[in-house]
Structures are given as structure tokens and as C-alpha cells.
Structure 1
């Protein structure tokens, strides 16, 4: 921690060094030469820095334009090359899902080739068995559907009267139909068109077979390519990883961390997605079986599979059991029970199971997931919707580990982009007091129990002042000197005053214990700012924290500098303890002058200086305190409360 050093206004002023006296004519000649040299420099023309200044000013704009052009080229390449990139992306996704099983078999001593073969056979066998079962269930249900036609007709006959009444737009629709009919009849009267009937040639069976084969060939070819890529990825995972590391540049350590992070996040996401879908599909099947909906197991499997498709999959999986419940039961109870089951499972899955299992597995914000789903669906269709979350996770990892793409982590990540002090300060700069109070209350309430005591509340508020509010005002103090304009300072000061007023109303101190007769009066502390308005806000925070700790304290709206300049110290009559708060980075010189003036006029004062503008600094040496004529010093509000509370006379001492 840096040692104490005197303030700039304590440093001695440099005096001119005595030397031989020069004649007035020599001084004039020297002045003429210096002015001539400066004029020559002015005539020499602008410097290189002045010449390059306009070019340097447009560099940020050029960088943004180049970035937008590169992004457009990449998006165009993703769209044009979707036929090639889609199988590779699907294969990589399946590789992430199956690689843990292959690695586990390899650790058990099985060669990697046999491990890959066994895993692929088991995966294809499971898919084939599921397809056979689903096909059988669909066949049996399609055979039973004609028996439900009478039930459907009766229900539609009962429902139809509710939709036959006059609608809101019926009159407008009739008018439009009338106008359209009149226009059509007018055209028919003006010209007669000879009707021509086009007869399509008969299609031969072999042509039908070729058309059907062409429709089936494309998905079969894509499936075969995906299967081949999955096998190759599982066989040579380490080789592919080495090639990716080499492509990502010479910093292999950073690239290795990025690949490991992406693999961990995507693998965890896929496993959690599988668990979430199973936790939805199994209760769905059991619930539909208990209710009596035919094909309950089929609808449970379909619900688990379709939930891999975000947003659209859950809605599509709910349509089939609801339609069948409508068709099977002559009444409405089966449909209502099915709807209640689906709503219950959706509520549990979205609000309990998914937050519990997912947690921070992907690190993506909710808005970025929705935007990513829209973006990848527009590029690659339904398959892009399935791949949207894993692909966006890869972009998030790139933004985290590549410095030039850090904006991706800011746009896509779920972590807060501002620390609590910066977050609070941004609300205060904008003058948004309501959101600032929300930030403060949220931070304080996190440290409180459901039924906090007065002491817990005092500690939580003091901790907020020390860890959030004071650092925020410290940043503001630095910006006061460099970039803040007078209107911005005024808006910030008013917002901070309203914030502190709201916190004092919400977190009220307990009533002070009255002093019994014959006992010494309680400690009375007055907190005052040294110079700036943010110094006065610090004094308000200190006084509030002391009151919460049971100390009789108050603050003054006028800074100590103003009081000393006006010479009216009646404000401090009867005050025993004065705390001067300062956000200046080096206020010791000015504080020394203030403490000396206060000692001369108010010798009874116990003076404490709170140096908030020097965080992390060590305690002042006794010699420094003595030279300042101050009794104590503090660097945090919690230090001040501990100092004052320890000085309070206890009941035992008073007795």
C-alpha cells in the first residue's frame, strides 16, 4: 500500500536560482531570438501528428465497416454452402453426443475402432427399433381412425352453431363479395373468352417411381453423408482437434481452452436436453395411458423427440394427443384432461426441471437464444432451428477467447456486462432513480435473511455502501475531473440524493435508547462533506449507516469548505464528533488546513477524516494524523461505524 505523501499544495514553490545579472539589451536579444525561432516553427507548417489526425479519426468507422463486410460475406457463405455445411454440423452435433460413450469403452480397454462400431450399431439399432415400434403404432391407429368418424361428426355438429352467428366482419365481407361479383360480371359482358381445357398427359408408372425416388434420394443421401461424417469424427477425434488447434493460430494454449470449453458446454447441453426431454416424455406417456388416450407410448416418444426442436417441437407434439382425445371421447372430459396434463407438464418442465438441469450449461442469455433460433432457421431451415443453440454456443466461446471477437460474448452471454458499482452508476448518470433503487435493494436484500434483525440490516446496508455505492461515486469523481459536463454532474447529484433518500425511507433505523439521568450523553456524530457534492453524499451514507448501528448521527447540507470560508461555525455547536468525508485522491494538504482551523475555533471536536478517494491504502501514521491535527482516519464506512461504536460508552462502563 502506498505510503502517505504530502498534497501538491504542501510542496514548496520553486524559487529562482540567483546568478549574475544580465543587461537589458542582452535579454531583449535573447527574447527576439526565441520569438524568431517560434515564428519559424509556426511557418514550417503542420506537424506529422496534425496531418494524420483526420486519418486516425476515421479508423473506428473503417474498422466497423470492414467488420460488417466480413460478417455479410460469412452469412452469405453460410447460406450458399448450406448443402455442404448442414451435414457437417449435424455430424459434429451427433459426435458430441456419442463421443462420451466411445471414450468410456476405450477406457475399458476396447480398441477405438471397435468402440465406434459398437456405439454406432447400438445407436442405429435403437433408432431402428424405435422406428419399427412407431410405425406399428401408427398403422394400428390409422386402422382405428374410421371408427371415430361418428364421434367427430357429432362433436362438430354441436360446435357448429357457436360459429354460425353473425361475425364482426360479416358485413364488410358481403360488401366485398358483391363488388367483386359486379366487377367480374362487367368484364364478362365486355369480352367473351373462349374456354380452353388443358389435358395433362398420362404419367407412366415408371415415371411415378422415378419421381418418388428423386424425392427420397436427397434425404437418404444427406443421412448417409451425416452417418459417414459421424464415423470419421469419432474415429479421428484427436486428429481433428489438432488440426483445429493449428488453424486457430500459434496460441495453442488459448485455442485448446476454447475447444475444451465449447466441447464441455455443447456436450452438457445435449445431455441436459436429453434428460429434460425424457422427464417430459415419460410422464406424458404414463399420464395419457392413465387418462385413456390411445397410443399413449407413441405420443410420449414423439413428445420427447420433438422437444429437440426449440419452440415448435413442444407445440407440434401436443397437437396429436389433443386431436385423438377429441376424436375418441363422445364427451369433452378426455380432451380437457389431456389439455390439463400437457399444461401441467409444460409448467413443470419450463419452470422447474429446465432451470434445475440446465443451470448455466450454455452461458447464453434468453434473448440471444431466441434471436439465434430465428437467425439459423432463416439460414438453414428446420435443421438450423435444431442446431441454433450449439452453434451459438460456439460463437460465444469464440467471443470469450479471441480478443477481436469479444463483442460476441457481450451480445450473447448471460453474464452481467457491468459490475454492481458500474451498473448502479450507469442508472445514476441517466437519472433513472427507480432502476437505481431496484439495483440497490436487490443487492442489499441478497445479504438479508427472510426476517432480518436490526443489526443484520445495518450490516447489509453498510456493506452495500462500501462495496457498491462508494466505488460507483469514486468512478464518478474521476469522471468529474475529466469528461463530465456541468449538466451531467447536476443530474448525477440529484439522482444520488434521491437514491439515498429512498434507501433511508426503506431501511429505517430503530429508535434510539433514551439516556438515563446521570449518565453521560450519547455520542453525537455529524458527518459532513469536504468540498464536492459527492463528498456530501458520502456524508449522508455514513450518517445513515451510523444511525442503523444505533448511533445518534446527522449530516449537513453545506460542505466544511463553505463553512470555513464563511466563518460561521455555529452549525457545530454542541457537536462532539465530526467526520469529514472526501473523495479526493490526495486531500491531506487541504484537510490539514481545515483541521487546524477547526481546532482553533472548536477545540472540543473529535475529528475523523474518511478518505474514500484512496481505496486500499494503509492506515495513516500517527505522525501524519498529528500533523493534520485529526484524531482518527477511516477508509470505509464500515471502519467508521466500527470506530464510533467501539467508542460508545456501554452500560457497564457507565455504571
Structure 2
């Protein structure tokens, strides 16, 4: 009997396989959870929909309850008054819809005949004007239709089978209870849902603080500050958004109602109410709301003038509301990216049908607000929110790392419209270069990639050489707050020149170029040397009061630069030699390292001059 012994190599293979399986499970975990949640949302839609509607109704009524509370109305009467207002709005809307629909249904057959006749006249006019083109392109189709007519005639000429016996199946006459049930059950379903929504909304409004505390306990009490901010901001933002959107859509429906009444469209109240309700559906709601009035305009008017009036009404009112009133009322953005709105609408419609389409915007907005403050929901803010996924420094580093300096130049031109050149160089380019160095230190990129990043950065800096500073920004700054003014103040007594020398690193020329540009724009006499040669012979004939060696130096690279600095000091005895700019970023995010370095440099130049 041979006893099996595990060798170190076999143990290593086993551990490697277990590690790979663990990584595979970790990668598949979020997808498994997402699949389970999606199935739960679909399977539990009959229970979840009334609860979601109740939560959204409570968000809508919360500002009204808060208004009554500010008038010193107790909580219970304030909640009941808000519910009564909601019931009154629902009842009024339902009454308008029913009465207007009943009026329209009596004349619907006549309208349908007129629309059919007008469509036939339109088809005849098209054939009269474009008949020759249609006949030339439809020769083969006419031949096919003739063949099909011949085949149908041959089939009709066949003798019928005498043995076939016609059979007719009739259902038994429904009883009185069946008829009552057929009318009553469909009417009870929405009434039942409405009652459940109202009851749950009442309990939410009564126990608002208690429910908030329970949610905080579920999300974790380790970070009460962040969780409280998330819930408060989410509740206020959603309440403000729902109330504002309800007011806007009510006004939109009222304007459409009045406009259709002025034009002469039958049942204008029905179409006005539907336009206000359908506007809650993003993108397609207004388009669907305009189909009915356009069809009735074609049925009522013998010509097409009324159709043009209705089209003009929607084309004027919708852009005015969407691009002027809504941004003034609740901001230019809801916090959602345009792509996320479309994707969310498709997802919730697939899960919950048409009602999911109406709820897609508020549900997605709720997830984004949670994602901005709670780490567990951060993925929703990244995927669905309208904030940039990357910081400006990360965006710059990604563009130059991918070899797309033209995209980095476009981003720089946009950002330089709102920030000074010094702030942009310091907070974007310099931080982006530090990200590249950090990736090199941890082995994420090769040194060749670092050279490519440096070359792309130099290309960006060359494109920004003559880019003007924002005039309004510098005009608003005080003299001591303007970076250019601060450097100019430091260089006020400057009567000598500066030589900017790049270190030996692949990113050091970019740092030296930024410093040279800032000094040159401040009025200094600046020249550049791409890299130190290792000997001082090349720099011996250069007339410069200050030689500044710039680059992203760590402790080891700075030690390697000491021989070069020593040679420069001995070869150019009448000049000051400075070295600066470290790889580490300062803890204070508001500090301007380039600005501080340039001020120190200018002061050193002034002292030597």
C-alpha cells in the first residue's frame, strides 16, 4: 500500500485553484444578487406596487403636511387635511375624465367615419400626384396580387364537401350574478388599490420620524451623520421634485385644455387631463397625449388647418415648460443622466408594465440620492447619476494614458473657462501625473507607458500655451488672490532670467513646462532645458540668475539628482540652483503647489537680482 503525499507543488496548485474559484464567486456575487432582486420585484409586483405608490404619495403630501404644521395645525388634522386634498384632486380628475369620455363616446362613430373618409381622400390625392412613381416601382407587386387573386378564385370554384356539417358552439346565457360580477370586479380592483395606497400613506405620514429611525437602524448606526443626511436629503429632494412636477404638469394640462377649447376640439377637458397625467411619463408621454387631439382635429375640420393649430399648440407649450419653467422651478437637472432615464424607463416598464414607466423617474432618483451618501448604494450614483464618473485629474490621466491628447485638450478648454491656469495645472495635470507615478510604483503600468503619458502631456501643454485666461475670473479676484498677480508681485523687482530644467524622470519635462509657462505669463524671462546632461558644460554658457530643476521627485530620485545639482552649482557660481516638486500630494486639497513653488522661485530670483 502506497501512502499518498501531497507535494508543495500540488498544494500550490490547490491553493491557486481555490483562490481563482473565490475570485470567480466574488465577481459573480453582484450579478446573482441583482438577478434575485429583479425576480423579486417582478414576482412581488402586486404587493410592492401599492407600497411604492403609497411612499411616493407620502413624499408628495409631505410638503403640504409641513405647511399645515407651520400654521400650528396639529399633526393628525394636518395629515387628514392633506389626504382630503389628495382625495379631492383624485375625485375631480376622475369626474372630468368620466364626463368628457361619455360625451366623446356618443360621437365617436361619426368621428371614426370622418377620419376614414379623410384618410381615403388623402390616399387618393397621393396616388394622383405620385401614381406614376408608385406604378413603376410596384409592377412586380401588382403581378403578385393578380396571381393571388387567381388562386383565390380557383379555390372558391372548388365544390364543397357534402359531408361537412357546420357546427356552432354557443355559451350558456350568463346569470344575473355573473353579469354583476363581470362589471363589479374590474371596478373594485382600482378602488381596492386606491384604498390600500391611502391607508399606507396615512401611516407613513403619521409615523414619519419613527420610520426614519428604523431605516437608520437597518442601514447601520456606525455612521449616523451620513445616513441622516442621506435620508433627509432624499426625502426633501423627492418631495420637492414630486410637488414641483405635479404643479408643472397640472399647469401644462390646464394650458392644453384651454388651448384645445379655443381651437374647437371636442372634449378638451379629457385631453387636457390626459396630457397632464401622461407628462409624468418621460419622453413619450407628451407624444401619446397629442395623438387624440390630432385625430379629432382631422375628424372635425374638413381641411387641415385645425390639425396645424393643435400641432403648433403642443410644439410651443411643451418646449416652454420643459426648457424654461422646469429649470427655473427645480433646477436644470434632476440628478439623473439622460441615458439612465431611458434605461430606467425600459427596466421598470419591463418589470411593472405601464405603471412602472410612470414610476421610473422617482424610483431612479431615490436610488441616486441614496448612492451619493451611503457606500452600499454608491453603484447607483455612478451608473445612473449625472455627476462625472471620474474626477478631472482622473479624466486627464485616462485621456493621456489612452493616447488621446486631443480629448484632454477639449476638457482643458472647458475647465479653463471657470478656473485659472494655475489652479488647472495644479489640481488637474499635476494630480493626474501623480496618479501615473502611483500606477508605476505599484506595477500597474510599464515605464514605456509613463513616457507616453509624458509626451501626451507635453502636447496638451503646447496646445494651451496661448490659451487666454478667463477675463471675468481674473477681474473678480482680488490682487492677492489672483495667482498671476501673486507671481507678478513676487517678480516685481526681477531684473534677471530663469532657467527651468527638467529632471531625469519621464514626467519631469511636463512639470518643467508648466512652471515655465506660469513664469512666462507672469512676465519673467524664462528659458527651458529638457533634461540635465549630467555634466555642467552645456549649462556653463547660459546666463541665468536662477536654475530651477523641476520634476516629480521621490526621496531616491532626489538623491540621484544631487550630483547634477552639485555640478551646476560649481559650474555656474553666480546663479542659484533650486529643485522642487515632490511625488506626494499635500493633505490640504486647496493648496496650490505650483503657485507656492513659483512664488518661492520668483522671490529667490528677486533676491539674487
Contact 1:326 1:335 in 2 (8 A): yes
Equivalent positions of 1:441-456 (< 5 A) are 441-447=413-419
SS at match of 1:310: coil
C-alpha separation in 1, matches of 2:311 and 2:587: 65
1:429 aligns with 2:429: no
Mapped pair 1:582 → 2:551: yes
CA distance in 1: counterparts of 2:182 and 2:505, whole angstroms: 83
Task: Name the CA distance, whole Å, in 2 between partners of 1:481 and 1:149.
Answer: 75
In the alignment, what sits opposite 1:77?
40
Among residues 580, 588, 594, which one is paired with 1:610 in the alignment?
A: 580
Q: Which residue of 2 aligns with 1:539?
A: 512
- Give the direction of change, closer, same or farther, for the CA distance of 1:111–1:464 in structure 2 (3 Å limit): closer
Q: Which residue of 2 aligns with 1:10?
A: none
1:584-628 per-residue CA deviation (whole Å, 9 max, x = no partner) reads 12355344432221122222333332324354499xxxxxxxxxx
Of 449, 465, 473, 1:504 maps to 465
Q: 2:502 aligns with which of 510, 525, 529?
A: 529
Partner of 1:260: 232
Kept in 2, the 8 Å contact 1:245–1:255? The answer is yes
Distance (whole Å) between structure 1 residues aligned to residue 319 and residue 17 of structure 2: 59
Asked if the contact 1:615–1:635 (Cα under 8 Å) also holds between the matched residues in 2, the reply is no
Matches of 2:166 and 2:352, distance apart in 1: 42
Task: Give the direction of change, closer, same or farther, for the CA distance of 1:185–1:97 in structure 2 (3 Å limit).
Answer: same
- The equivalent of 2:477 in structure 1 is none
Determine whether 1:68 maps to 2:31.
yes
Give 3-state SS (helix, strand or coil) of 2:553's partner.
coil
Cα separation, 2, equivalents of 1:86 and 1:348: 33
Q: Please give the alpha-carbon distance, in whole angstroms, between the structure 1 residues aligned to 2:52 and 2:421.
A: 51
Question: How far apart are 1:440 and its partner, in Å?
Answer: 0.9
Structure 2 residue matching 1:578: 3-state secondary structure: strand
- Would you say the 8 A contact 1:266–1:362 is kept in 2? no
Deviation at 1:337, TM superposition (A): 2.6
Q: 1:336 aligns with which of 280, 291, 308?
A: 308
Higher Rg of the two aligned structures: 1
Residue 385 of structure 1: aligned partner: 357
Contact 1:95 1:234 in 2 (8 A): yes
The equivalent residue for 1:227 is 198
* Correspondence for 1:477: 437
CA distance in 2, matches of 1:215, 1:149: 27
1:47-102 CA-partner distances (Å, limit 9, x unpaired): 99997455344433212222222221111111111111111111111122123323
Measure, in 1, the Cα distance between the counterparts of 2:113 and 2:380.
58
- Compare relative contact order (CA 8 Å, sep 6+) and give the higher one, 1 or 2: 1
Structure 1 length-normalised TM: 0.76
User: How large is the RMSD of aligned CA atoms in angstroms?
Assistant: 3.8
Unmatched segments (≥5 aa) in structure 1: 1-42, 448-459, 509-519, 619-633
> Equivalent residue for 2:62?
99
Post-superposition offset of 1:407:
2.1
In 1, Cα distance between the equivalents of 2:577 and 2:172?
106
Report the counterpart of residue 364 of structure 1 in structure 2.
Answer: 336
Aligned pairs for 1:19-168 within 5 A: 45=8, 52=15, 54-106=17-69, 108-142=71-105, 152=115, 155-156=118-119, 158-164=121-127, 165=131, 166-167=133-134
Matching residue within 274, 277, 282 for 2:249: 277
CA apart distance, 1:195? 7.1
What's the CA shift for 1:436? 0.7
Q: Which position in structure 2 is the counterpart of 1:348? A: 320
Relative distance call for 1:382 and 1:157 in structure 2 (3 A) is closer
Q: 3-state DSSP class of the match of 1:609? A: strand
Stretch of structure 1 that moved more, 179-188 or 233-242:
179-188
Cα separation, partners in 2 of 1:89 and 1:407, compared to 1, 3 Å:
same
- SS of corresponding position for 2:465: helix
**Secondary structure of the corresponding residue to residue 71 of structure 1:** helix
SS at match of 1:564: coil
Q: Distance in 1 between matches of 2:290 and 2:597?
A: 62
Where 1:434 maps in the other structure, the secondary structure is helix
The equivalent of 1:492 in structure 2 is 453
For 1:384 and 1:146, the matched residues in 2 are separated by 33
Match of 1:564 among 534, 557, 577: 534
Shift of 1:318: 1.5
Conserved 8 A contact 2:42-2:352: yes
Structure 1: distance between partners of 2:110 and 2:523 = 81
- Which residue of 207, 213, 226 corresponds with 2:184? 213
- 1:119–1:479 Cα change, 3 Å: closer
> In structure 2, what is the Cα distance between the partners aligned to 1:213 and 1:617?
70
Q: Which residue of 1 aligns with 2:565?
A: 595
The SS at the match of 2:398 is helix
C-alpha separation in 2, matches of 1:80 and 1:106: 39
Secondary structure at the aligned position of 2:547 is classed as strand
Change over 3 Å in CA distance of 1:170–1:602 after alignment to 2: same
Mark the CA change 1:156 to 1:65 in structure 2 (over 3 Å): closer, same or farther.
closer
> Is the CA contact 1:400–1:409 (under 8 Å) kept in the aligned structure 2?
yes
Distance (Å, rounded) in 2 between the aligned partners of 1:356 and 1:486: 51
Gaps of 5+ in 2: 1-5, 470-492
Aligned residues: 567
The answer for the alignment partner of 1:406 in structure 2 is 378
Equivalence for 1:456: none
Deviation of the 1:531 alpha carbon: 0.7
Q: Hey, what's the Cα distance between the residues in 1 that align with 2:441 and 2:342?
A: 42
- Partner of residue 553, structure 1: 526
- Contact persistence 2:63–2:240 (CA under 8 A): no
Partner of 1:461: 421
